[in-house]
Amino acid sequence: MTKKVLVVDDSRSVRDSLFELLSSGGYDVVTAEDGLDGVERIERTTDLSLVICDVNMPRLTGMDLLRRVKSQPAYAKLPILMLTTEGRAEVIREAKQLGACGWIVKPVSPNNLLATVRKVAGL
Amino acid sequence: MTNQQEWVFDEIDSVIRTCCGAMFGPERVPSAWASPEPGTEVRATSPDLFSFIDFEGPDVRGMLVLRQRKQDVLASHPLPRLDRSDADALDWASERANQVAGRIANRLNVKGVSIQIGLPATVYGRTNDPVCDFDPPARFVLTYEGESVRAYLCARVRDPNSATDDPPVRRSTSEGAILLF
């Protein structure tokens, strides 16, 4: 069964490029354009294997998405990987405490990103 | 301007130069920096993309502006296509500005200057270079002028007399790093 990955990013360019990359890697990809859209998408989708989430977004930030989603027991095991330009140690530490499964600082090479997705979500 | 304020500006100048070089190619980083001459008008033959990002922290607050040409922005798009629209250029210009600002924030953090960046906003414009309207001790610096990108900084540094401690040493994770928990 094809694994489903949700990409949450307010940049359409980033969403499109991740869609292309992950689709070519064998994943079923769905997208959301900000944190609020992302939370709604997570709550509507039952078979997500991974969420890749930006941090700096309008309406609801990636950290707030993490907080909202991980406060619900139903999503305790849903892996959420943060993909962002943010690199401050204290923010990364907070994301880890909130339940993120990893942190990637943009820009990242497509091959490394795909390898990480395979490691976290499987294929 | 005090020595402490000069130090913060010098750090920001240095970091912006490094980050623009990393993003847009080191060969385009100018050998000398210059402030824009008052009244100098830079009128492009076609509209350029202006991306604005606010930043703020305990030591400094201000705005970074990147001026980019549409054709350069689209040429650097991760999914190059010939039929890219103006909206595509706006979106990718914002993301590029976001990545430059993120690099700047991460490097400044290591130097003990903590800032949080806002969301980028990008518009098309054919106007003069942006104007900094902060009162002294603000400084408006033309930080970068290459073939395709100009970066402008407008910042106000906190009065060092209100400082309580030396800048703490902080840690940042650099671009491309992948951390799995």
- Measure the CA–CA gap between B89 and B104, rounded to whole angstroms: 22
pLDDT of residue B87: 92
Residue B80 has pLDDT above 90, yes or no: no
* Opening angle at CA B66, ends A65 and A57, nearest 5: 5
Residue B145 has pLDDT above 60, yes or no: no
Residues on chain B touching A56 (C-beta within 8 angstroms): 98, 117-119
The two tokens of residue B107 are 């490097």
Give burial (CB, 10 Å; 0-12/13-18/19+) of B137: middle
Q: Do B95 and A56 make contact, defined as CB atoms within 8 angstroms?
A: no
Maximum mean pLDDT: which of A14-18, A105-109, B125-129: A14-18
pLDDT of residue B32: 42
The band of B26, judged by pLDDT with boundaries at 50, 70 and 90, is low
Nearest chain A residue to B111 by CA: give it.
Answer: A88
pLDDT of residue B142: 47
Q: Do A87 and B78 make contact, defined as CB atoms within 8 angstroms?
A: no
Q: Do B179 and A102 make contact, defined as CB atoms within 8 angstroms?
A: yes
Candidates A13, A56, A104; nearest CB to B178: A104
pLDDT of residue B143: 46
Whether the ipTM is more than 0.90: the answer is: no
The answer to whether B161 and A95 are in contact (CB under 8 A) is no
Query: A8-36 b/e with 16+ CB inside 10 Å = b?
Result: bbbbbbbbbbbbebbeebebebbbbbbbb
Q: Do A20 and B79 make contact, defined as CB atoms within 8 angstroms?
A: yes
pLDDT of residue B154: 73
Alpha carbon A84 to chain centroid, angstroms = 10
pTM, two decimal places: 0.84
- Measure the CA–CA gap between B110 and B106, rounded to whole angstroms: 7
